[in-house]
Every structure is written in C-alpha cells, then in structure tokens.
C-alpha cells in the first residue's frame, strides 16, 4: 500500500516516518511523486512576487475604523429612537387620560348643574314657603342660603370644569337639597 499525499509531502520535507521513508526509497512510483511535489514547490518559489496593483489595506483599515465608530453611533441612534417612541407613547397616553378626565368632569358638571336647576325650581315653585317659621328654622334657612351664595360666588370665578368646580357644584346641590328638606319639613309641620 502506497503512502497518502500527506505522508509523501512529509517524505519530501525529510520528516517521514521510517516505514514510509523506506517505502518511498524502494517504490519508483512514490519516489517519482515525491520528486514531482518537490519540483512544484521549487516552481512556486521561483514565481516572481508581484505587488497588488493597488494597496487595498488603507481602504480596509479606514472602513474598519469607520465601522468601529458607526456601531456605537447606531446603538445611540436606536436608543434615542426607542426613547422618542416611549416619550411619544407616554405623552399620547397622558393626553388621552387628560381628555377622558376633562370629558368626565364636564359630564359630572352638566349633571350637577341640571340637578341644581331642578332643586331650585322646586324651591321657587308656587304654593310653598308661606307661613310662620320658627326662629331656629329661619336661622338654618338663612345659613344655608348664605352658604349657597358663597358657593355661587366661587363658581362665577371658575373658568373651566375641574375637580374643584365639580366639588363646588356637589356642595351647591347638597345645600339646595338641605334647603328643600327644611321647606318640606316646615310644610309638613304647618300642615298638621
């Protein structure tokens, strides 16, 4: 059996194992192949060394250096884009929540105004309120009317619906309801 190409190359370079070296020395075909491999090596060494037409290394080095700088810049760009996206999302959500709150406050205010108007119409309806009133009842009625006047003054200063305005309208409805209760209680006592 003949040696492999790797073993023949080792024989050419003088590094063959003793068994392979003995085979190459005894076998004319293997000896011719080792001689051919040596001739190829010598022919390759005899070739002139030609420099490349253009030195490409400076362009490669420049490209590599640019890539080193661009990679972190791309990461920063992506980070900025993600942050901008998050900020836009937060701002949009905040705007939507604020719009929802304003709509809810406006709705609550409309409902409270309507209830306030209904209670006032009950108070000003004809047929009630005449007759003698006890001093304590008159004092309570006057106190309620004064507190309603203070709430009304605060409401005239309000420019747009807010939690404070809703609270003022709630207070006004509560006071008008109490005033209506005083009137109903008074009317009940007078009717006995």
Give the chain as a 3 state SS string: CCCCHHHHHHHHCCCCCHHHHHHHHHCHHHHHHHHHHHHHHHHHHHCCCCCCCCCCHHHHHHHHHHHHHHHHHHHHHHHHHHHHHHHHHHHHHHHHHHHHHHHHHHHHHHHHHHHHHHHHHHHCCCCCCCCCCCHHHHHHHHHHHHHHHHHHHHHHHCCCCCHHHHHHHHHHHHHHHHHHHHHHHHHHHHHC
Question: Once rounded to an integer, what is the mean pLDDT over residues 146-150?
Answer: 92
Full-model pTM? 0.47
What is residue 186's predicted lDDT score, i.e. its pLDDT?
A: 57
Highest-confidence segment of 12-21, 51-60, 152-161: 12-21
Buried b (16+ CB within 10 A) or exposed e, 112-150: beebbeebeeeeeeeeeeeeebeeeeeeebeebeebbee
Q: What is the pLDDT of residues 24-83, one digit of tens each?
A: 999 999 999 999 999 999 999 999 988 777 777 888 888 888 877 777 777 888 889 999
Written as six digits, the tokens of 86 are 């998050």
Q: What pLDDT, on a 0 to 100 scale, did the predictor assign at position 18?
A: 92
- Residues 56-66 have pLDDT tens digits of 788 888 888 88
* pLDDT of 192: 44
User: Is residue 183 pLDDT above 90, yes or no?
Assistant: no
């Amino acid at each position: 059996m003949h040696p492999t190409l790797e073993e023949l190359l080792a024989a050419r370079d003088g590094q063959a194992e003793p068994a392979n070296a003995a085979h190459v020395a005894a076998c004319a075909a293997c000896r011719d192949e080792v001689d051919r491999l040596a001739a190829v090596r010598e022919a390759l060494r005899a070739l002139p060394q030609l420099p490349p037409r253009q030195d490409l290394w400076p362009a490669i080095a420049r490209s590599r250096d640019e890539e080193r700088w661009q990679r972190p810049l791309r990461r920063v760009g992506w980070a900025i884009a993600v942050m901008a996206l998050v900020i836009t999302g937060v701002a949009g959500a905040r705007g939507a929540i604020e719009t929802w709150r304003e709509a809810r406050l406006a709705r609550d205010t409309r409902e409270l105004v309507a209830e306030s108007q209904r209670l006032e119409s009950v108070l000003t309806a004809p047929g009630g309120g005449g007759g003698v009133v006890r001093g304590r009842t008159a004092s309570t009625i006057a106190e309620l009317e004064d507190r309603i006047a203070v709430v009304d003054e605060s409401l005239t200063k309000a420019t747009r619906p807010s939690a404070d305005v809703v609270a003022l309208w709630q207070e006004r409805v509560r006071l008008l309801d109490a005033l209506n209760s005083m009137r109903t209680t008074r009317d009940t006592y007078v009717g006995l």
